[in-house]
Homo-oligomer: A and B are copies of this chain.
Amino acid sequence: MTEEERKRYFDIAMSSALVLFGFDGEDLKILIYRKKDEPYQNALSLPSKYVAPNETNEMIIREMLHERIGINPQNLYIEQLKAFVKVFRNPLGRVINVAYYALLKLTPEIEIQVAERGGVWVKYNDIPDLAFDHNEIVSYAKERIKRRVKRRPIGFNLLPKEFTIAQLQSLYEKALDRELDKRNFRKKIFNSNLIFETGNTTDPKEHRKIAKLYSFDAEKFERLSLKGYDFLF
């Protein structure tokens, strides 16, 4: 490559947007912000950050989670969606966006931390107009999570360690965007043998009736995966 060619080609910037799915036991939501700077000032947008040539994308995603969102990004499920490469995405020049999604269990504390930093959780099925091509990115993320939730037990990344079957079902219903039969759901989940009773129950103050709590048996899943087992919902 000549010096001239180098100048011509090495003039692209990369950013990474994050579709952060959060589940609070009730609703599945996505995190967005209001942009403070140009371009698209004041528009809503996904959290997104430039990636310098010597930085890895995952590093930047984690940095963003930590600094701007106030979340500890350890043990978070993060996966690349794809690159969004339209030529005129950004008036500054060619900026391609390599988008990611991540899954987060929401707790009241996290919701407060996020709100303090200006973050807003919008419902999975109620996404407003966003800056750039971020609506396209969100659609793509929703498709991806629908597929993933059917074939891999990633839903457990959105739930606390111990959860009720009702919470799990609610999560699946939100992600797949359709209602599921209670009895059939329990059958399927228990047949998979991937969750076990913890012996604990919900706090009787919170609900009318106490419910058993379950956990995901990650170790068993590992063993089954090795044999080519396909968790299938």
> Which residues of A pack against B, CB within 8 Å?
1, 5-6, 8-14, 50-57, 80-83, 85-87, 92-94, 96, 98
Contacts and interface: CB of A to CB of B under 8 A. Distances in A.
Contacts of A82: 80-83
Nearest to A81: B82
Contacts of A52: 8-9
26 contacts: A1-B92, A6-B92, A6-B93, A8-B52, A8-B53, A9-B14, A9-B50, A10-B10, A10-B11, A10-B12, A10-B13, A10-B92, A10-B93, A12-B12, A12-B14, A53-B87, A53-B94, A54-B94, A55-B87, A56-B87, A57-B85, A80-B83, A82-B82, A82-B83, A85-B98, A96-B98
A93 B53 contact: yes
A61 to B, nearest CB: 11
A53 to B, nearest CB: 4
Contacts of A86: 56
Q: How many copies does the complex hold?
A: 2
Contacts of A6: 92-93
Contacts of A80: 82-83, 85
Nearest to A88: B54
Contact of A98 (B5, B54, B83, B92): B83
A17 B56 CA distance: 20
A191 to B, nearest CB: 21
Contacts of A81: 82
Nearest to A86: B56
B1 A9 contact: no
Nearest to A56: B87
Contacts of A56: 85-87
